[in-house]
Amino acid sequence: MRFMEQREYWKSRWEKVERKPANNFARRIFSLIKNKKFKTLLDLGCGNGSDSIYFANKGFKVTAIDFSESGIKQLQKEIRQKRIKKIIPICQDVKKINFIDSYFDIIYAHLSLHYFDDKTTTQVFNKLHRILKKKGLIFIKCKSIEDKLYGNGKKIENNMYILNNHVRHFFDKDYMREKLGKFKILKLRKTSCIYSYKSSFIEAVATK
């Protein structure tokens, strides 16, 4: 499926979804970074920005990127209404981000990097390495091949499927390790939780 169609998918998804509190991944990460001298945080694929707002309220200068117009519009509205100063919302494709080298202390990607084919995934991860500061931290959570949805729908390439217009590229630990090849991996683990079905993930923390 082509890029524009996925953008449309996420535009209509965020038109229907209400803002939720920050997710547990964000909360756990905050407990790891709160005592460090980090300031700049990139929320990659921020959706309607629940986690961006959470991190901004904790004092981080947040750059929030998503290619869903409706997600970013919801975030902009919230920023105006609540007069939140510390978030820069940007409607952009993750594949096209272009920041100066070593710009961010923290890169945070909650369920937003498991959408690309292998070649693009490599390019995106390498770009993230370039824009992360030395000794900065990157936190990533992606769907895993143990997820209940794995294998459903039409296969696009290895571990990548399209189901009901939604593309997903499922990770395993080795794949995450390979994509983080330029980083120093600090933690790599499988997690799972129950939504309406058992959902499984690979989570990684890495530094430069």
Helices (H), 132-186: 173-179
Identity of the amino acid at 1 = M
Q: Is residue 89 a contact residue for ligand SAM (CB under 6 A)? A: no
Identify whether the C-beta of residue 50 lies closer than 8 Å to the C-beta of residue 24.
Answer: no
Quick one: angle between helices 3-16 and 69-82, nearest 10? 40
Q: Is residue 63 a contact residue for ligand SAM (CB under 6 A)? A: no
Q: Is residue 67 a contact residue for ligand SAM (CB under 6 A)? A: yes
Closest to ligand SAM by CB, 68 or 200: 68
Q: Is residue 94 a contact residue for ligand SAM (CB under 6 A)? A: yes
Q: Is residue 68 a contact residue for ligand SAM (CB under 6 A)? A: yes
Identify whether the C-beta of residue 118 lies closer than 8 Å to the C-beta of residue 157.
Answer: yes
> Which residues are CB-contacts of 54 (< 8 A; sequence separation ≥ 6)?
21, 22, 26, 27, 30
CA dihedral of residues 139, 122, 143, 65 (deg, nearest 10) = 60
Identify whether the C-beta of residue 150 lies closer than 8 Å to the C-beta of residue 170.
Answer: yes
Q: Is residue 157 a contact residue for ligand SAM (CB under 6 A)? A: no
Q: Is residue 133 a contact residue for ligand SAM (CB under 6 A)? A: no
Among the listed ranges 61-69, 78-86, 130-138, 176-184, the one in contact with ligand SAM (CB under 6 A) is 61-69
CB of 180 to ligand SAM, least distance (A): 19
Among the listed ranges 30-38, 80-88, 89-97, 170-178, the one in contact with ligand SAM (CB under 6 A) is 89-97
Q: Residue 103: how many CA atoms within 13 Å on its side-chain side?
A: 15
Among the listed ranges 108-116, 155-163, 172-180, 193-201, the one in contact with ligand SAM (CB under 6 A) is 108-116
Using CB under 6 A as the criterion, which residues of the chain lie in contact with ligand SAM when the complex forms? 6, 10, 23, 45-47, 50-51, 66-68, 71, 93-95, 110-112, 115
